[in-house]
Amino acid sequence: VHKIIIDTDPGIDDAMALHHAFADERLDVVGLTTVFGNVPVKTATRNAIHLTDLAGLKIPVAEGAATPMTITPNPHADFVHGVEGFGDYPPQVPSREKDTRSAAEFLCEVTKANPGEITICAVGPLTNLALALEHDPEIAKNAKKVVIMGGAVEAPGNVTPFAEANIWNDPHAAQVVFDADWDVTLVGLDVTHSVSCNMDDFRDVTKHSPDIGKFLEQVSEYYIKFYTENVGVDGCYLHDPAAVIAITDPEFFEVKEAPLNTILEGDEVGNTIADPAKNGRPVKICLEVNDQGVKDTFLSTLKKADARRDA
Ligand code: BDR
Ligand code: CA
């Protein structure tokens, strides 16, 4: 069983990734940390607690960064995820308070207490991870590994022709995380743009898992509408779930190892470029994916979500 902390900005595909992780018995989610991105950080925290409520979990949720380290904040992704983060799903009152620690403190403390055991799965801008490295550089040694949804190394971007949203929202943080001496896997648009599912897939999940399925069906409608109208796909990409699945099923992904550079300003800001000549620890960049394997794992796991909640 992999012990993981998910750093997240929920967000609709974040909600999918979290419910997937909660439902997979091969994963033990020991906490969540939140970051600005799809929505303001306070909204992300409220939504993250609501997701734990739906799954019947009381794991800690520690709030993190409200803004990027250096750049002027970009607008939130209302048109993709809705102002409240879950499309037209109305905002919910969380059942409990957030953790008293900041996300950076939480990440450092929990990895220190479980050296070599915790995988950090980051599916939002990388600000909290960079702040954690600043707060206690030993986290690079204490964490087992880091799996990131972010970047577009060979593929084009999604927010600009060059940049993927999570990296674009805090390129300086991304560079700090890529340069640290820890085991980093990048699950970017190079692979996530091959993995999608549609409303029929979610309706099928609901047949097996009526409560969590219904929630995902409701929130996905807005997200899928965005993709259908603006990207021209019948369905939506499974960005954040793909990063979670890369932890449990790494054989679905083919990686190339190289150090990474992030463009920090100008037209190409947020672009991630492999630089084999650069000194430093290489990043495992996912470039090929068994898309059917990822999709099947995602849907079959979610079908067990209500049962796992009730176990
Ligand atoms: C990433 O950006 C966010 O909008 C999604 O939640 C995902 O983490 C995709 O580029
Ligand atoms: Ca996200």
Q: Which tens digit of pLDDT belongs to each residue from 209-219?
A: 999 999 999 99
Of 2, 50, 81, 239, which one is the catalytic site residue? 239
Cβ-proximal residues to 81 (8 Å cutoff; 6+ apart), any chain = 11, 12, 38, 39, 87, 222, 223
Whole-number pLDDT of residue 95: 92
Helix axes 12-23, 41-54, angle to 10 degrees: 30
CA distances from 126 to 12, 157, 174, 232 (A): 18, 17, 6, 29
Instruction: Choose the residue to mutate in 18, 20, 38 for probing ligand 1, maximizing ligand atoms within 8 Å of C-beta.
Output: 38
Least confident of 73-77, 104-108, 153-157, 173-177: 73-77
> How much distance in Å is there from the Cα of 242 to the middle of ligand 2?
11
Instruction: Choose the residue to mutate in 41, 166, 193 for probing ligand 1, maximizing ligand atoms within 8 Å of C-beta.
Output: 166
CA distances from 292 to 109, 191, 194, 271 (A): 37, 12, 9, 28
Whole-number pLDDT of residue 289: 98
Cβ-proximal residues to 153 (8 Å cutoff; 6+ apart), any chain = 186, 188, 190, 260, 272, 273, 274, 285, 287
Amino acid at 8: T
pLDDT band at 173 (very low <50, low <70, confident <90, very high): very high
pLDDT band at 267 (very low <50, low <70, confident <90, very high): very high
Whole-number pLDDT of residue 285: 98
Mean pLDDT across the chain: 97
pLDDT band at 196 (very low <50, low <70, confident <90, very high): very high
> pLDDT tens for residues 37-72?
999 999 999 999 999 999 999 999 999 999 999 999
Instruction: Choose the residue to mutate in 6, 9, 244 for probing ligand 1, maximizing ligand atoms within 8 Å of C-beta.
Output: 9
Whole-number pLDDT of residue 141: 98
**Two tokens at 285?**
């960049």
Amino acid at 156: P
C-alpha–C-alpha distance, residues 121 and 247, integer Å: 8
Instruction: List ligand 1's pocket residues with C-beta within 6 A.
Output: 11, 13-14, 38, 77, 80, 123-124, 149, 158, 164-166, 239-240
H or E element in which residue 135 lies = helix 127-135
Q: Which atom of ligand 1 is nearest to the CA of 80?
A: 4
pLDDT band at 74 (very low <50, low <70, confident <90, very high): very high
C-alpha–C-alpha distance, residues 173 and 164, integer Å: 14
Whole-number pLDDT of residue 135: 98
pLDDT band at 286 (very low <50, low <70, confident <90, very high): very high
Closest listed ligand to the CA of 148:
1
Q: For residue 11, is the peptide bond before it cis, meaning its omega torsion is within 30 degrees of 0?
A: yes
Over residues 114-120, the mean pLDDT reads 98
Whole-number pLDDT of residue 2: 98
> How much distance in Å is there from the Cα of 9 to the middle of ligand 2?
5
**Two tokens at 252?**
């679905």
C-alpha–C-alpha distance, residues 298 and 63, integer Å: 27
ipTM of the complex: 0.98
CA distances from 173 to 56, 128, 200 (A): 33, 8, 38
> How much distance in Å is there from the Cα of 16 to the middle of ligand 1?
12
Over residues 280-292, the mean pLDDT reads 97
Q: Which atom of ligand 1 is nearest to the CA of 123?
A: 8
Question: Is the Cβ–Cβ distance between 244 and 121 less than 8 Å?
Answer: yes
Q: What is the pTM of this model?
A: 0.98
Whole-number pLDDT of residue 211: 98
Over residues 130-146, the mean pLDDT reads 98
> How much distance in Å is there from the Cα of 275 to the middle of ligand 1?
24
pLDDT band at 153 (very low <50, low <70, confident <90, very high): very high
pLDDT band at 190 (very low <50, low <70, confident <90, very high): very high
Cβ-proximal residues to 93 (8 Å cutoff; 6+ apart), any chain = none
Cα R_g (the chain), whole angstroms: 17
Q: Output b/e per residue, 193-208; b: 16+ Cβ within 10 A.
A: bbbbbebebbebbbeb
Count of CB atoms within 10 A of residue 144's CB?
A: 18
> pLDDT tens for residues 224-236?
999 999 999 999 9
Whole-number pLDDT of residue 154: 98
Q: Which atom of ligand 1 is nearest to the CA of 9?
A: 6
Which ranges constitute the DSSP H helices of 24-126? 41-54, 78-81, 103-113
Dump strand ranges (E) for 81-142: 118-122
